[in-house]
Amino acid sequence: MTKREPLADSPRRVVNLSRVIDAPRALVFEAWTDPKHVEKWWGPKNFTSIVDMWDARPNGAIRLQMRAQSGFSHPMTGTFHEVVSPERLVFLAVAEDDAGNRLLESLTTVTFEEQGGKTKLTVHASAVGIAPIAAQMLQGMEQGWSQSLERLDEQVMLQAK
C-alpha cells in the first residue's frame, strides 16, 4: 500500500446538502451510527455496501466496500473525529483502490437539528483528490451524496414504522 498525500494543486470539491427528514433526530442519528443501518443506505443508488467496521466514536475506524451492480468494489476507510449524540458527526473518509492506495479523501461534517419532530440533516463534505482518477470521482460527489441521502430517508422511514 502506497500512502499518497494531496498536492497543493490537487483537485478539490466541497458539497453542502441539507434535507428535512420526517423522523425524530435520535432515529436519524442512529441510522448514521449503527453499522446495520448504514449498510442499508450508504452509497449511490444501485450500489450495495458491506460495512466491515463502523465504530462511531472519536478515533473509531471506518472500513466498508461499496459494490456497483457490475460487481466492481470501491473500498473506503476512515476515522471518526467527533461523535456528539444526537447532534454531530465528523469523519475522514478515504476512497482507496483494491491495493489500498489512497485515491481521494473527504472530511465530512454531518449535523442533526430538531425541527418539530423532524430532523434537518446537513452534510458538508470537503474532498481532495490524491490520484489521477480522483478528478472523475469528485465530479460525481454531489450526485452520490444526494442519492445516499435519498436512500437514508427511505431507510429511516422503514425504521420509523
pLDDT higher than threshold 90 for residue 161: no
Least confident of 108-117, 133-142, 148-157: 133-142
Q: How confident is the model at residue 72 (pLDDT cuts 50, 70, 90)?
A: confident
Q: Cα 159 to chain center, whole Å?
A: 19
pLDDT at 2 over 60: no
Kindly state the average pLDDT of the residues 81-103.
96
Could you tell me if residue 157 is left (phi over 0), alpha (psi between -120 and 50 degrees) or otherwise beta?
alpha
What would the grid cell of residue 76 be? 473506503
Confidence at 4, pLDDT banded by 50, 70, 90: low
CA distance 123 to 161: 25
The grid coordinates listed for 20 are 428535512
d(CA 79, CA 97): 18
Digit-coded pLDDT (tens) for 40-71: 999 999 999 999 999 999 999 999 999 999 88
Contact partners, residue 6, CB within 8 Å, separation at least 6: 105, 128, 129, 130
Which positions ≥6 away from 94 have C-beta within 8 Å?
Answer: 76, 77, 78, 102, 103, 104, 105, 106
CATH code, residues 12-160: 3.30.530.20
